[in-house]
Structure 1
């Protein structure tokens, strides 16, 4: 026999569903993107890493500065948390300004650069540019050339911006290279498909057999990265911003879920895709909170010797 719910039961259930949906929406729009911050550790065993080269790398991607989701005090919190991890090296993977629809009030790029200048690492802080660093610069878009405002702001504070460049660094007497690729999607006009990124030209600047850390913004360049590169790091996808059961409804990549998020290994080549820190297009995050990526190389047990600080949320 079919038993129908009473009017009171139906309205109570409807009210519960609405409350649950409202609570989920409030969390996704108001809590996770603005107030949560996690540290995501990786310790990949790389096939061509120099024995004895122990390196801790903090990776910061996709700030998308602007109020209310990424004001300066939030940037300062990220800087403080990153410094507490005591990285040897800090790498920033582009997309510093917010895009349309998520910033109610802009934060000037020079003010952002002033705060991230406080990042502390013995081997320094290096950065690349993302598509929004170009798209949100009307002068660069009109002229179809840089340097963009984000590059000028960062370099004015002593943070190098690598666009098809490679730099040789030394840790404990052992050398390695940090390389940065120019953005692959600098112009948002549909008819303009110029791609200034140059993997062969960038890697041609490497003059010895030391391992290479490669920064790219969009992970779609990864299939063209040769095995000579020890580790590639990318941002851009935000992990889809909504991620449930290991998948996201939408990933801004022509490869879909393949390079959506996390540590990916293909043909013995390693890629780490950060979920990023800010929001883009839609001010929502659920299942992929803002993250600082922490990569320990050369010593898989090093994370245990340097405990992670407690992160609220």
Structure 2
């Protein structure tokens, strides 16, 4: 079984820097900042969310959830050392629960070295939280895995590495978390665009392996629930009984100017882009940590997201 990422052509460090330099020259100062500074300017973004009245939530329960997504492990952008720093920063936040919302593997061509799962998964295993560390997979975790694509199903290299390092990967299933106020269920959806264009299931160009009804049915009626879904598009179908959905995938567009992102990988590009969205229930879309497609970030720095769930929202 080949390591995830071997389908990508590797670039020399010189070629990567030349490409970054060309982007920089296109906008001089702005381009240099977007390729050489902001992709590494990590921030912590916090949200305080009180679940909607239709979502069952224990009175007085407040959970701090740390969200990491879209790591895209590759050099020079996301080295093993940088991932270790992200883990240390996350542990320092003392969250009750840590969730990893997919796309662990590289997602672009401008890389000097793919960081293999044998390196990044053991680092992620050092994340700690009283209620545990859980994960779902993202589209790139599937797309770069030739064997999983050939089978049209798992296991994937990324998922196996996480599991072997003690991180539970949720695939259309849910688990109860033992809080002081009773069980809160954490549900994880399999990826919505997992299979590459060679597959033609159900008329979709990139069919998913997700099953929202099955995932929701795993949670007892009336029980409080949090949902992990790599792509946020599924939120249009999420019922009000779900207290919170956590997603990534969009990277906030990677370029976001005055609250507007010109390119968003979504069927709802103006609806599910970045940040906190409230419709029938609540959704938080993280801008992620790594880079996809192009080595650039502008107006949406890499972030660790912290959600205080059960807290009164800021006025």
Q: Same fold judged by TM-score > 0.5?
A: yes
State the distance in 2 between where 1:164 and 1:88 align. Answer: 23
Query: Given the alignment, which residue of 241, 245, 269 partners 1:256?
Result: 269
Secondary structure of 1:203's counterpart equals helix
Query: Given the alignment, which residue of 25, 35, 51 partners 2:31?
Result: 25
Unaligned runs of 5+ in 2: 1-23
Bigger Cα displacement from structure 2, 166-175 vs 210-219: 166-175
Structure 2 contact 49–311 (Cα < 8 Å) conserved = no
Query: Is residue 234 from structure 1 mapped to residue 241 from structure 2 by the alignment?
Result: no
RMSD: 1.7
Query: Given the alignment, which residue of 149, 159, 162 partners 1:154?
Result: 162
Deviation for aligned residue 1:299: 3.1
Query: Given the alignment, which residue of 301, 309, 312 partners 1:289?
Result: 301
Match of 1:67 in 2: 75
Query: Is residue 127 from structure 1 mapped to residue 135 from structure 2 by the alignment?
Result: yes
Query: Given the alignment, which residue of 167, 172, 193 partners 1:164?
Result: 172
Matches for 1:150-299 after TM superposition, within 5 Å: 150-189=158-197, 191-192=199-200, 193=204, 194-267=207-280, 269-299=281-311
The structure with more radius of gyration:
1
Unaligned runs of 5+ in 1: 1-17, 304-313
Deviation for aligned residue 1:91: 0.4
Secondary structure of 1:142's counterpart equals helix
Q: Give the alignment's TM-score, normalised by structure 1.
A: 0.87
Query: How many residue pairs are counted as aligned between the two chains?
Result: 283
Deviation for aligned residue 1:208: 4.5
Deviation for aligned residue 1:190: 5.7
Structure 1 contact 53–174 (Cα < 8 Å) conserved = no
State the distance in 1 between where 2:209 and 2:27 align. Answer: 44
Deviation for aligned residue 1:100: 3.4
State the distance in 2 between where 1:187 and 1:124 align. Answer: 29
Match of 2:21 in 1: none
